[in-house]
Amino acid sequence: MEQNILLGVRDLRVSFRLDKHSKLPPFEAVKGVSFDIPINSTVALVGESGSGKSVTSLAILGLLPPENSLVLPGSQILYGGRNLLTLSNTELRALRGKDISMIFQEPMSSLNPVFTVGYQIAEVLRLHMGLSPRQARARVLELLDEVGIPDPAAKSAAYPFQLSGGQQQRVMIAMAIACNPKLLIADEPTTALDVTIQKQILELLAALQDKHRMSVLFITHDLAVVGEIADQVVVMRNGEIRENGATDAVFRNPRDAYTQALLKCRPPLEQRPQRLAVIEDFMNTATPPPEPAQRTRGLSGNEPIILEVSHLGKSFYSREGLFGRVTTFLPCRSISSRTTSAASRLFFKIPMPRSTRVSRWGRFFRSLY
Ligand SMILES: Nc1ncnc2c1ncn2[C@@H]1O[C@H](COP(=O)(O)OP(=O)(O)OP(=O)(O)O)[C@@H](O)[C@H]1O
Ligand SMILES: [Mg+2]
């Protein structure tokens, strides 16, 4: 393997047996995939749903389900002169988190709901870096600060459900970078977040990559994100690589018909078609796609109001202090048109609101609570 290559995937083949008693042949999810991740660079793995992106990344970390998956002979994942596919579970556990770490799409399902976030980050530090509890506690605060969590001391004592989605993802990132890994695998880390938070998280990842000089394998189906952050792009479809190269070159001059279709499918900013283009519109080059009819932009002003929210408020009980004093904070105060997840949870009665006026189709909904 070349000097500047951190990790090399060679002819990776992964099959799944769908049912123990089935006579059907195993399903081949990844069919001989090869690509390199250079040192200190971001490689984007893109492709439609089911193309084998997550299976490839789970294979790198040895996290495929042992009960029904099979990595076929001849597959190699080369890292530090070793084929990771031949390592024992103990060797893999030592490598995960320390050399290679991963963040997932859904932070809430990756964080343990019964431990505070500070405890969970500290555990990584104690396990891999051998820090004492006191050292780990101090480092947790530094890490939370580095990933942009406000008031790290208070937030480290919070449980995952007490944080917003963006904050939970920042906690996952803090855990992932805690041991200065050489490779961070980010599997669609921003798809569960709204666009502004998405941008902040992408900027954070780019800044951390630069600062820690780590490589990032960024899995996404969002080509706009690829253009922003990736040095190289690997395009997958049906378990195979369709194109692989420097992002600029692939975006300017895609050679593969599927990559060309993928790029043409990007929703136009300046138009509002009745129907968004799909890959198949561009794969069949014999018949060019019909010019899509346009929708009119904006509202006429005569649309009926279906939901109106005013004076919605909620305070969360956060800490019981000296002499039973309770401190509270307000995540939403007199929200009117904007809906946050806290606000929408209030509307659906989870949990009780402090004060609310919600009306729908003219009916006053306070009685719901
Ligand atoms: N545990 C499993 N058992 C059986 N089949 C699986 C398993 N995990 C993944 N697959 C199959 O492998 C194929 C690739 O899945 P994978 O999760 O890698 O897709 P993906 O490219 O990450 O898609 P997405 O963008 O939706 O996350 C899919 O057809 C999926 O059904
Ligand atoms: Mg996936």
Weakly modelled stretches of the chain, pLDDT under 50: 337-339, 352-353, 355-356, 365-369
**Which helix (DSSP H) or strand (DSSP E) does residue 349 occupy?**
none
| Residue 343 pLDDT | 61
For ligand 1, atom 27: residue with the closest CA: 49
Q: Is 237 in the pocket of ligand 1 (CB under 6 A)?
A: no
d(CA 165, CA 169): 6
Strand partners, 8: 36, 78
Measured in angstroms, how far is the CA atom of residue 332 from the centroid of ligand 2? Answer: 33
Work out which ligand 1 atom sits closest to the CA atom of 14: 12
Measured in angstroms, how far is the CA atom of residue 251 from the centroid of ligand 1? Answer: 26
d(CA 165, CA 185): 19
| Residue 135 pLDDT | 95
| Residue 244 pLDDT | 96
| Residue 77 pLDDT | 97
Counting Cα atoms < 13 Å in the Cβ hemisphere of 341 gives 9
Measured in angstroms, how far is the CA atom of residue 239 from the centroid of ligand 1? Answer: 9
| Residue 253 pLDDT | 93
d(CA 152, CA 140): 8
| Residue 352 pLDDT | 47
Question: 136: which 2 tokens?
Answer: 């780990």
Work out which ligand 1 atom sits closest to the CA atom of 239: 14
pTM assigned to the model: 0.79
Measured in angstroms, how far is the CA atom of residue 145 from the centroid of ligand 1? Answer: 35
Q: Is 55 in the pocket of ligand 1 (CB under 6 A)?
A: yes
Of the candidates 274, 302, 301, 304, the one whose C-alpha atom is nearest the C-alpha of residue 290 is 274
Please check whether residue 237 is in contact with residue 258, taking contact to mean a CB–CB distance below 8 angstroms.
yes
Measured in angstroms, how far is the CA atom of residue 318 from the centroid of ligand 2? Answer: 36
| Residue 41 pLDDT | 95
| Residue 368 pLDDT | 43
Q: Is 136 in the pocket of ligand 1 (CB under 6 A)?
A: no
From the CA of 221, the nearest ligand is 1
From the CA of 46, the nearest ligand is 1
